């Protein structure tokens, strides 16, 4: 995740995204609980993928805990070619070192703005797309725009895994409806009593050609993002 919003953003976030990752060191933290769920769903998605090479994309990948942790002992770890895109150079460097130490040379870490579709050229259509830590840091209109752009990243039948906090107003049900309208069918959703939502969707539509000059969203940061009511349109 970025340490600040990209050029042209409405605000600059003050969250220290390097220190934010420290909570992963505490097994009972919210982040660690969410991470275990995400990793389990990644492993399940890999198990369900067809034989052969697999392409994986991770947006706002941070230090890569979700994918790299899931691949650590997975039998299909060497089938995976992945691109993790992360704006913060420090976090990207940690992800890069972790992938190399784990013996995963086909895991590429790009230091750049994950909202820019050009970073995914050559890696689409992907079998697995991760958008963890994205939807809680962008506006509702950008969520809609990003969802509309996901068919450019996903192969038909691909799995999309995403997260979003459940602070009021809880936008998780609304996000599910947006995804449904874009041909992403819900396969699994985390317990609504949790403080976070983890969604797993199967893309049943057709892959769309990548527009390499597009921007999917502007990363604002949850600390500066003004809560807005759940939209009443397109539901």
Note whether residue 178 is domain-resident: yes
231, two tokens: 């939209």
pLDDT in tens, the chain (235 residues): 443 444 333 334 456 655 555 656 767 788 999 999 999 999 999 999 999 999 999 999 999 999 999 999 999 999 999 999 999 999 999 999 999 999 999 999 999 999 999 999 999 999 999 999 999 999 999 999 999 999 999 999 999 999 999 999 999 999 999 999 999 999 999 999 999 999 999 999 999 999 999 999 999 998 888 666 666 544 3
Note whether residue 125 is domain-resident: yes
Residue 140's domain comprises 27-203
Could you report the per-residue pLDDT of 124-148, keeping only the tens digit for each? 999 999 999 999 999 999 999 999 9
Instruction: State the pLDDT at residue 225.
Output: 83
Instruction: State the burial class of residue 217 (Cβ atoms within 10 Å of its Cβ: 0-12, 13-18, 19+).
Output: buried
pTM of the complete model beyond 0.85? yes
The Cα–Cα gap between 199 and 77 comes to: 22
Note whether residue 82 is domain-resident: yes
**CATH number of the domain bearing residue 36:** 3.40.50.150
Note whether residue 233 is domain-resident: no
Could you report the per-residue pLDDT of 182-220, keeping only the tens digit for each? 999 999 999 999 999 999 999 999 999 999 999 999 999
Number of domains observed in the structure of the chain: 1
In the chain, beta strands by DSSP E:
54-59, 80-86, 107-111, 126-131, 154-165, 184-189, 196-203
Note whether residue 37 is domain-resident: yes
Note whether residue 170 is domain-resident: yes
169, two tokens: 């107003």
Q: Do 129 and 54 touch, CB atoms closer than 8 A?
A: no
Rounded to the nearest integer, the mean pLDDT of the chain is: 90
């Amino acid at each position: 995740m970025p340490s600040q919003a990209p050029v042209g953003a409405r605000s600059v976030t003050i969250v220290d995204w390097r220190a934010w990752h420290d909570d992963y060191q505490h097994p009972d933290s919210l982040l660690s609980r969410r991470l275990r769920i995400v990793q389990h769903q990644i492993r399940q998605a890999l198990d369900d993928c067809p034989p052969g090479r697999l392409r994986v994309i991770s947006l706002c990948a941070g230090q890569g805990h979700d994918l790299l942790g899931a691949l650590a002992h997975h039998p299909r770890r060497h089938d995976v070619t992945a691109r993790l895109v992360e704006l913060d150079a420090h976090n990207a460097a940690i992800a890069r070192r972790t992938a190399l130490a784990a013996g995963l040379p086909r895991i590429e870490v790009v230091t750049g703005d994950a909202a820019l579709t050009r970073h995914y050229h050559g890696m689409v259509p992907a079998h697995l797309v991760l958008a963890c830590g994205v939807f809680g840091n962008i506006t509702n209109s950008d969520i809609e725009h990003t969802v509309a752009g996901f068919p450019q990243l996903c192969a038909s039948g691909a799995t999309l895994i995403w997260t979003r906090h459940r602070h009021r107003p809880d936008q998780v049900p609304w996000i599910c409806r947006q995804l449904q309208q874009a041909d992403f069918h819900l396969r699994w959703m985390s317990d609504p009593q949790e403080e976070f939502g983890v969604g797993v969707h199967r893309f049943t539509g057709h892959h769309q050609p990548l527009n390499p000059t597009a921007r999917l969203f502007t990363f604002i940061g949850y600390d500066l993002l003004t809560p807005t009511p759940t939209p009443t349109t397109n539901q």
